[in-house]
């Protein structure tokens, strides 16, 4: 079955918009995470009291929890960006080179749409998505906030129920993100590759 060029033109435009949306989400979550980290460091530095106090420990932990949440959202945005980019490149290659091998390149488009839009699979394995986002900025943010939180807990008064409440809250949020994140269906790596040099990562 041949690809309908009218439908393909409309779909191509929608794919371009989805790429823009995913790119904006990726940048926004990263910027918010940097802003949260800077804000937390500033608040702790300007508190005027030896670290940690109840409030400054809570600030460090809440910042770490929020950055972890935005890291997950950033990974999802990165996965979406890779999906739509894969489809976009397949259609672009067809538009420019389709006359040379039309049937094969139409199959490339159909496979890309089936795997990455209909089935919502991921062109990239989860480990590559995580590594890419860590390199983007999050590795530094996790090191900074993790170190500050660790120092805070090391110096905290553990006889204070507040310290336990903050520690349990942090542990629960991290466990939740780590337990749910890898099993999201739209992060499942597609087992069927799109065989075309223009669409390979």
* pLDDT over 80 at 3, yes or no: no
At residue 47, what are phi and psi to the nearest 5 degrees?
-65, -25
Q: Is the pLDDT of residue 199 over 50?
A: no
pLDDT at 68: 94
Task: Give the H/E segment covering residue 198.
Answer: none
Cα–Cα nearest to 174, from 32, 71, 51, 25? 71
106 alpha-carbon distance from chain centroid: 30
Q: Is the pLDDT of residue 192 over 60?
A: no
Residues 6+ apart with CB under 8 A from 57: 51, 149, 152, 153, 156, 163, 166
Structure tokens of 121?
């699979």
In the structure, what pLDDT confidence band is assigned to residue 179 with cuts at 50, 70 and 90? confident
* Residue 99 to residue 3: CA distance in whole angstroms: 13
CA–CA gap between residue 26 and residue 137 (Å, rounded):
11
Mean pLDDT in residue range 169-194: 73
pLDDT at 145: 96
pLDDT at 59: 96
Name which residue leads in pLDDT, 199 or 7.
7
User: Of all helices (H) and strands (E), which one includes residue 26?
Assistant: helix 5-45
Contact 73, 27 (CB under 8 A): no
Domain boundaries, the chain: 5-187
3-class DSSP state of 46: coil
Q: What is the mean pLDDT of residues 183-191?
A: 64
> Buried (b) or exposed (e) across 90-102, using 16+ Cβ within 10 A?
bbebbeeebeeee
At residue 150, the pLDDT reads 96
The pLDDT of residue 200 is 42
For residues 152 and 1, give the distance between their C-alpha atoms in angstroms, rounded to a whole number.
Answer: 63
- Residue-level pLDDT at 197: 42
Residue 2 has what pLDDT? 64
What does the alpha-carbon distance between residue 100 and residue 103 come to, in Å, rounded to a whole number? 9
Range among 69-73, 98-102, 104-108, 175-179 with highest mean pLDDT value: 69-73
* pLDDT > 80? residue 124: yes
Average pLDDT over residues 108-122: 88
């Amino acid at each position: 079955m041949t690809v309908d060029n009218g439908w393909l033109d409309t779909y191509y435009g929608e794919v371009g918009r989805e790429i823009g949306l995913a790119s904006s989400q990726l940048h926004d979550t990263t910027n918010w995470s940097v802003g949260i980290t800077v804000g937390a460091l500033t608040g702790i530095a300007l508190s005027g009291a030896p670290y940690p106090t109840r409030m400054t420990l809570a600030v460090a932990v809440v910042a770490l929890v929020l950055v972890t949440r935005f890291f997950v959202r950033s990974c999802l945005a990165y996965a979406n960006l890779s999906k739509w980019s894969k489809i976009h490149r397949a259609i672009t290659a067809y538009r420019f080179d389709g006359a040379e091998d039309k049937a094969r390149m139409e199959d490339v488009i159909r496979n890309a749409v089936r795997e990455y839009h209909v089935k919502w699979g991921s062109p990239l394995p989860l480990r590559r998505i995580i590594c890419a986002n860590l390199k983007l900025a999050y590795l530094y943010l996790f090191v900074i906030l993790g170190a500050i939180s660790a120092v805070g807990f090391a110096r905290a008064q553990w006889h204070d129920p507040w310290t336990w409440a903050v520690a349990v809250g942090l542990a629960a949020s991290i466990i939740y993100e780590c337990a749910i994140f890898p099993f999201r269906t739209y992060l499942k790596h597609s087992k069927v590759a799109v065989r075309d040099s223009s669409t390979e990562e």
